[in-house]
Amino acid sequence: MLRRKMIIYLSVLLVLTPVAFGLPLTYMFTQFKPEPEYRLRMYEEPEIIINCVLPIVPNEVPNLIVNRKEDITENMVKKIAEELFNMTGELKRPDFTEAYYLHDGQQMLWISDFGGIWYDSGFNPTDSSVELPNYTIARNIAQKFIEKVKSYNLFPKDQQVNVEYENISVGEQSIFFSGTTIEKAIHYLNVDFAINFDKLRIATITVSIGENGRIISFQGFWREVMEAGIIKIIKPEIAIEKLQSISYGRSTLKPQKVIINQIKLIYFDDRGMQEHQDHLQPVYECECIIVDQNGEQLPLLERISANIP
């Protein structure tokens, strides 16, 4: 009993000592707070600057499951390789993949069981300029080639799926000196398209157009999909809140600001085209600029799950 009284007495004395010296009761506790720099590292999050209009999204979206296309056979793949890409040779089915592979000289071709195509002509750029079509002609060449690909029944069959032109840009260029002047040699153009399901992107296509309109690369990572129920999703404001912690953890230097230039709701395929995927995930894709503590600006493309936990 005496010991208990002593403990109480000492506790009261410890609390009242600061008061005896004219200090507030909060003094003793504030003195044990972490240093300001330490608190900054622990708690402060980067400032989020929204430099775009947030999309208006529904409360739920279709749940898209992935199906294998039964009509993609060895004979069909050989036909596509020869007619579309002028390729012949031994067709292979690599282990642990769900795709066919063909290698002919420098050319390489993958065709997935789910419909996607990846083609590379083996183009090797030089420092000299080449004769490229203008943007309008390059876009028309790319669109016509996509129509040829569609004729082989490789695209998703759902009536809600459509292909939409997005952008055209310089694919690769060299910078070199010619006497005392600096010149640029553009080697090819990239024409980008989106494959949409009910206005939401489910895949992309990039057609690379080289000299004289030649197709030097084709990347179409789509899959056959089918609607199976619905998925409830979060609003973009919630996704932005998640972006704070994601950008903090992935930056080498602590970011001071995260500037969001675009945010959109899409479906995302997080596997390679040769791999199996059960369904597509709805995500918010954020195009951002990170401003670090030294004032340097770093681009960031972040995808945040839109699923309600």
- Answer for the pair 277, 63: CB distance below 8 angstroms, yes or no: no
Residue pLDDT tens, the chain, 309 long: 444 444 444 444 444 444 444 444 333 333 333 333 333 333 467 788 899 999 999 999 999 988 877 778 899 999 999 999 999 988 998 888 889 999 999 999 999 988 889 999 998 876 566 789 999 999 999 999 999 999 998 888 877 889 999 999 988 877 766 667 777 778 899 999 999 998 899 999 999 999 889 999 999 988 888 889 999 999 999 988 887 665 444 545 567 888 999 999 999 987 766 677 788 999 999 998 888 878 888 888 889 999 987
- Phi-psi category of residue 186: left, alpha or beta, with phi > 0 → left and psi -120 to 50 → alpha: beta
- Answer for the pair 89, 265: CB distance below 8 angstroms, yes or no: no
pTM of the full structure: 0.76
Distance CA 139, CA 49 (A): 35
Distance set, CA 283 to CA 236, 243, 244 (Å): 10, 12, 16
Any residues with CB less than 8 A from the CB of 256 and at least 6 apart, and which?
Answer: 46, 47, 291, 292, 293
Question: Residues of 272-304 as b/e, b for ≥16 C-beta within 10 angstroms?
Answer: bbbeebebbbbbbbbbbbbbbeeeeeeebebeb
